[in-house]
Amino acid sequence: MAVTVLGIRHHGAGSARNVLAMLKKLQPDLVMVEGPPELEPLMSLIGQKDLKTPVSLLCYDEQNLRRAAFYPFAEFSPEWVAAAWANEHKVPLRCLDLPLALSWEKFPETPDAQTSPEQVRPRDPLSYLAEIAGFDDTERWWELQFEQRTFDHGPEEHFEAVMLAMKTLRDAEIPSHLDAENLFREAYMAQLIRKSNLELYQNIVVVCGAWHAPALLDLDKTEKEHVKILGKLPKSKIKVGVTWVPWTSDRLSMQSGYGAGLASPGWYEHLWKHPDDMGVRWLTRVAQLLRKKKMDISTAHVIESVRLGESVAALRGLSRPGLLEMNEATQTVMCMGDGVLLELVRKELVVGVALGKTPENLPKLPLQADFEETARKLRLPFTAEGKELDLDLRQELDLKRSVFFNRLSILGIPWAKSSRSRSRGTFRESWVLKWEPEMMIALIDKGVLGNSVEDAATVFLREQSERTTSVGDLSGMINRAIPAELFEAVSRLLKCISDSASVSTDILEMMQAIGPLADTGRYGNVRSTDQEAIRQLVSGLLTRVCIGLPNACYGLDDASSEQMFVQIRSVHEAVQLLDMNELREAWLRALQVVAEKDGVHALLHGCCTRLLLDGKWLDADEVASQFSRALSVGNDPMLSAYWMEGFLKGSGLILLYDAVLWNLLYQWVGTLPEEAFVNLLPILRRTFSKFEPGERKQLGEKAKKGQVNLSSKALEAASDRFDAGLAAMPLDFIAGLLG
Amino acid sequence: MANVQRQHAEEQFAEELEALKKQDTGDRPVNWHLSPRAVVTYLTGGKLKNGFEVSAKYIGNRRLMEIAVATLTTDRALLLYGLPGTAKSWVSEHLAAAITGDSTMLIQGTAGTGEEAIRYGWNYARLLAEGPSEQALVVTPMMRAMKEGKICRIEELTRIGADVQDTLITVLSEKTMPVPELNMEVQAIEGFNVIATANNRDKGVNELSSALKRRFNTVILPVPESMQEEVDIVQRRVSSLAKAYKLNAEAPSLPEIQRIVTIFRELRNGVTADGKIKLKVPSGTLSTAEAISVVNSGLALAAHFGDGRLTASDVASGLVGAVVKDPVQDKVVWNEYLETVVKTREEWRDVYRACKDISI
């Protein structure tokens, strides 16, 4: 009976190589790899063709899908290599760790943890060794010492060295932040090995994290103690579901079930495939990548990079250049010292862009389960023909349904389609439900995002928000996230918008965002913390818009001016809604600058003047003089007409009230030559046709009467008291009678 | 020699170089005075085994110095690239001093630098009297460096016209300089190399041809990485300059310098120091050297027109001038910064007011 413990680093390419060499040499009759026993059934798939790295095992609590853990594997993961070897040689494979069902239970506190609950997290034990060796980066030390180096006396020497290093650290009782947890895990691991021993396996190879290796030696001595520890373990009723999910290289670099993530999966894969490469192959690949991006990289560049890499390594006293030296050589020789291109190398080569594949007919994904469960709870039928649903959002069930539909639509699953959009102040929503089988595939595709529809939608929005810096897009996402009640995503999006807005130079886009945001801030169904954040964000956006508006309005053509016109009006409304005096003042001041700035389209001049009048920033006399200036004979009639459109668009009531403006307009029309008048008709029509019918009628009546006599104060007073709405009512009625 | 205004690096730090040489046990490339590792120590500072303290010449990333020195051990030339005021010339001088003990072989690049400043010229009196001969040849620093196996420095390489730059190609790849008039050539002996410096963001520069680019390894010297580093550099330089100008002003307080450096760093990096708010970046370079000059001109104002104490209004004009280089775009950037960042900081009220007073 022999047990060989091989201490590895998870995802260590050198560790994997040595594990493989040892397996070949020892030909064990049982292979045990670190990992909760729940993984065992699915580990047997490793080695099959349709399971392609990078992939991950996903474990989840069947009752509480949010509790989940990932165990990702790359081609060069020692656990993967060991499992593949075992499966290929038909050697039994077992997992070695505390079952997840147990580790998800509440743990009894260890006495140490009780006495000092606010203990600082101790430093990485390996850093002591790295420091002695003169490295400030522990990862780099390990990589050079164990992953890249080939030991003279083969893999045995490698594992002896690892074991010695770990044993020394552990014997010195250097603490690790995982100590409390490890106590149980290691006891359990040891117990599993003892059990296998009893089953009369003769030659067991154990592959586990290096730190645990020393604890799995001398099993006879520790048995009593371990049994005592394991007695304290809680009982667990948690049912753990496991399945394979496709993984990506950049996900490999995240934190996961196996602890530390891997910063450079692509580089490790290279080390795994070409252990003897001194940089030639790697730098050739870098050169090829840069060439693909239209950079002139010659073979001479590669030669010089290799030489520089070697001499920097020599200067640092290293036996061979590592990733750091490769990157430095690339940057210095190929990229003219520029680090930006290196980012490209990092993304495509150092991390890599590989996507894994999993076989079909695997157990159901949690997201799928959550989806079906929610649909059942909300009593939503899966019908192929369209079914209409009218929701009253004051009912809890209907509100939940609406939220659920909104989440699905964020995920791109158009099961329910909204037939009328929800506007503020209404409680009604209409949806059409229509189920198509492809939707399930789309859902499964989103399985990596999260285990519940809510989580997946949140992560989806997060990923989307990382891909764009457009303020418009982001505010669109917020408007989708709010009815879906994805509060976490909303907070994040708010942060994104405020980041993008501060570097964005597109004033129009910011203005577009302000309106809906202000609306949401006031009426939307959001948490109060977000409400405050929205208000802050809007005021930040508004400050920027106020500073940038005059420049943004400069030199616009007709079409762009019209866009700007719409935005200025919508921001103006938002400003009224916000009710913040300081901002209102800044906004009106900016409008005044625009109104007086040369080179701004007459439409905008008119619009700003009107808004300033409405905001009581300019008094009537001032406006009258501007009105008269805009309509003076010397101007191009086209400009005057645009000015008027800007000033009047939306509401003509002002013409009914203000005799001065009325007279100016009346005179202006009178001065127009016939040809010019005909040319202007489209613009004038556009301006006046938007008024309420009653208003139009009144204006027509007024026009018949001609100019208002200004000398008569009484008349003015009378027109002040004149109630247009009241007057309009019978007019409408009469108009109806007359047909 | 005592009254020269500025000593060469190898003279000023002769003691350190000597101490390093005594301790140095590493392999030295041919014609090098120190081993590569000792050169790095000379540049980045450190304590020798016998307790001798070597001062740091370059405050910043040690790895960059390692790459620079490793480049010179191969036969590739070194190009130090970066914003104005990032210590490129300083590093180049000290590299030459440490490696060959001689930093004097220097060619200053300007738009008017001709081929004869790089290759060789003629002493015309001699040329007319004696005809072409080696005695009539005017030897350039480049030729001398080749003959003696030393390092030739070229300052502001990108200011030299493109056609003249390309005369370097033969020198760098063939390591020889033909003199067809005399039917001879000068071949570089081992140890020869070239260190060039260049600005990457400046007007009137000539981009290197790709043939020439290929002969250089490029190291970009960055602006100081941490706040502390930069405050350190500014404080040191300001106090030494104030002494040189004999300014009758109080040394600026640390918080004042920190404030100016913070403004420079925030605008340069496009994000506030706490990382919470992103900012637009102005078109200027905002180098450490400019921060130093803002403090200095503020000090001069305070000394001559104020009470000798540096106040916010003394630095405001320099600050605005350093940030707003483009009257339209930068103005927007600066106003946004004032309104969204400076205004919100309680203890920065005086800066906000002082900057607001300077209407731009």
Tens of pLDDT, residue by residue over A15-52, are: 999 999 999 999 999 999 999 988 888 888 888 888 88
Distance CA A581, CA A562 (A): 28
pLDDT, greater one: B251 or B263: B263
Reduce the DSSP state of residue A26 to 3 states and report it: helix
CB B203 within 8 A of CB B158: no
Question: Are A313 and A422 within one domain?
Answer: no
Q: Is A543 on the interface with B (CB under 8 A)?
A: yes
What's the pLDDT score for residue A116? 43
Contact B340 A540 (CB under 8 A): yes
Distance CA A669, CA A293 (A): 62
In this predicted structure, the answer to whether residue A718 has a pLDDT above a threshold of 60 is: no
Tell me the pTM.
0.66
Q: What are residue B193's phi and psi, to 5 degrees?
A: -165, 170
List beta partners, residue A209. A8
- Give the pair of three-digit tokens for residue B288: 């450490």
Domain residue ranges of chain B, discontinuous segments joined by +: 64-221, 227-357
Per-residue pLDDT, averaged over A92-112, amounts to 76
What's the pLDDT score for residue A723? 59
In-domain check, residue A412: yes
In this predicted structure, the answer to whether residue A433 has a pLDDT above a threshold of 90 is: no
Q: Is A332 on the interface with B (CB under 8 A)?
A: yes
Share of chain B above pLDDT 90, in %: 38
What's the pLDDT score for residue A733? 60
Search chain A and give the residue with CA nearest B336: A544
b/e A375-400 (16+ beta carbons within 10 angstroms → b)? beeeebebeeeeeebebebeeeebbb
In-domain check, residue A75: yes
Per-residue pLDDT, averaged over A388-405, amounts to 85
What's the pLDDT score for residue A651? 66
B106-108 and B151-155 strand pairing = parallel
In this predicted structure, the answer to whether residue A130 has a pLDDT above a threshold of 90 is: no
Contact A336 B213 (CB under 8 A): yes
Among the partner residues B63, B214, B277, nearest to A328 by beta-carbon distance: B63
Instruction: Looking at the complex, report in whole angstroms how far the Cα of residue A50 sits from the nearest Cα belonging to chain B.
Output: 45
Interface test with A, best of B28, B37, B43, B71 (most A CBs within 10 A): B71
Question: Are A385 and A326 within one domain?
Answer: no
What's the pLDDT score for residue A258? 47
Question: Are A305 and A443 within one domain?
Answer: no
Question: Are A385 and A440 within one domain?
Answer: yes
CA-based R_g, chain B, Å: 24
Contact B67 A505 (CB under 8 A): no
Q: What are residue A144's phi and psi, to 5 degrees?
A: -70, -35
Contact A547 B339 (CB under 8 A): yes
Number of domains in chain A: 3
Kindly write down the DSSP assignment for every residue of A600-648, as one continuous string.
Answer: B-HHHHHHHHHHHHHTTSS-HHHHHHHHHHHT-TTS-HHHHHHHHHHHH
CB A40 within 8 A of CB A31: no
Residue A61: CB partners within 8 Å, gap ≥ 6?
A: A67, A68, A104, A238, A239, A240, A241
In this predicted structure, the answer to whether residue A118 has a pLDDT above a threshold of 50 is: no
Per-residue pLDDT, averaged over A241-255, amounts to 74
Domain end residue (candidates: A434, A454, A474): A454
Question: Are A25 and A73 within one domain?
Answer: yes
Reduce the DSSP state of residue B286 to 3 states and report it: coil
Per-residue pLDDT, averaged over B212-222, amounts to 89
Confidence of residue B78 (pLDDT cuts 50, 70, 90): very high
Distance CA A148, CA A325 (A): 14
Distance CA A38, CA A233 (A): 17
In-domain check, residue A496: no
Q: How do residues A104-116 score in pLDDT, each as one tens digit?
A: 876 555 444 444 4
What average pLDDT is seen over chain B?
A: 87
In this predicted structure, the answer to whether residue B295 has a pLDDT above a threshold of 80 is: yes
CATH placement of domain B64-221: 3.40.50.300
In this predicted structure, the answer to whether residue A713 has a pLDDT above a threshold of 50 is: no
Q: Which of A245-249, A314-318, B113-117 has the lowest mean pLDDT?
A: A245-249
Q: How do residues B171-180 score in pLDDT, each as one tens digit?
A: 999 999 999 9
CB B38 within 8 A of CB B66: no
Distance CA A263, CA A350 (A): 8
Kindly write down the DSSP assignment for every residue of A431-498, as one continuous string.
Answer: EEE---THHHHHHHHGGGG-SSHHHHHHHHHHHHHHH---HHHHHHHHHHHTTTT-HHHHHHHHHHHH
A108-112, A628-632, B207-211: range with highest mean pLDDT: B207-211
Confidence of residue A731 (pLDDT cuts 50, 70, 90): low
Per-residue pLDDT, averaged over A248-253, amounts to 74
CA distances (Å), B40 to each of A273, A598, B17, B151, in order? Answer: 35, 60, 12, 16
List beta partners, residue B107. B154
Kindly write down the DSSP assignment for every residue of B112-168, as one continuous string.
Answer: T--HHHHSEEE-HHHHHHH-S-GGGEEE-HHHHHHHHT-EEEEESGGGS-HHHHTTH
Question: Are A284 and A217 within one domain?
Answer: no
In-domain check, residue A700: no
Domain membership of residue A323 as a residue range: 277-351
What's the pLDDT score for residue A727? 59
In-domain check, residue A303: yes
In-domain check, residue A16: yes
In this predicted structure, the answer to whether residue A279 has a pLDDT above a threshold of 50 is: yes
Using DSSP, how many helices (H) and how many strands (E) does chain A show? 35, 10
In-domain check, residue A194: yes
Question: Are A75 and A13 within one domain?
Answer: yes
- Give the pair of three-digit tokens for residue A434: 């229509």
Q: In terms of Cα–Cα distance, which of A485, A480, A513, A483 is closest to A499?
A: A513
Reduce the DSSP state of residue B18 to 3 states and report it: helix
Give the ipTM. Answer: 0.77
Question: Are A227 and A300 within one domain?
Answer: no
Cβ-Cβ contacts under 8 Å, B339 against chain A: 543, 547
Confidence of residue A256 (pLDDT cuts 50, 70, 90): very low
What's the pLDDT score for residue B201? 66
Q: How do residues B237-248 score in pLDDT, each as one tens digit?
A: 787 677 767 777
pLDDT, greater one: A336 or B117: B117
Q: How do residues A191-225 score in pLDDT, each as one tens digit?
A: 999 998 888 888 999 999 888 999 888 888 888 88
What's the pLDDT score for residue A499? 80
Residue B18: CB partners within 8 Å, gap ≥ 6?
A: none
Question: Are A88 and A222 within one domain?
Answer: yes
Residue B86: CB partners within 8 Å, gap ≥ 6?
A: B221, B222, B223, B287, B288
Per-residue pLDDT, averaged over A280-288, amounts to 93
In-domain check, residue A46: yes
Confidence of residue A496 (pLDDT cuts 50, 70, 90): confident
Residue A164: CB partners within 8 Å, gap ≥ 6?
A: none
CB A311 within 8 A of CB B29: no
Search chain A and give the residue with CA nearest B328: A551
CB B47 within 8 A of CB B56: no
What's the pLDDT score for residue A729? 60
Question: Are A109 and A213 within one domain?
Answer: yes
Instruction: Looking at the complex, report in whole angstroms how far the Cα of residue A451 sits from the nearest Cα belonging to chain B.
Output: 31
Among the partner residues B81, B220, B332, nearest to A547 by beta-carbon distance: B332
pLDDT, greater one: A505 or B139: B139
Distance CA B178, CA A250 (A): 54
Question: Are A82 and A225 within one domain?
Answer: yes
pLDDT, greater one: A646 or B128: B128
Confidence of residue B91 (pLDDT cuts 50, 70, 90): very high
CB A239 within 8 A of CB A61: yes
What's the pLDDT score for residue A261? 63
Confidence of residue B304 (pLDDT cuts 50, 70, 90): confident
Share of chain A above pLDDT 70, in %: 88
Question: Are A71 and A214 within one domain?
Answer: yes
In this predicted structure, the answer to whether residue A342 has a pLDDT above a threshold of 50 is: yes
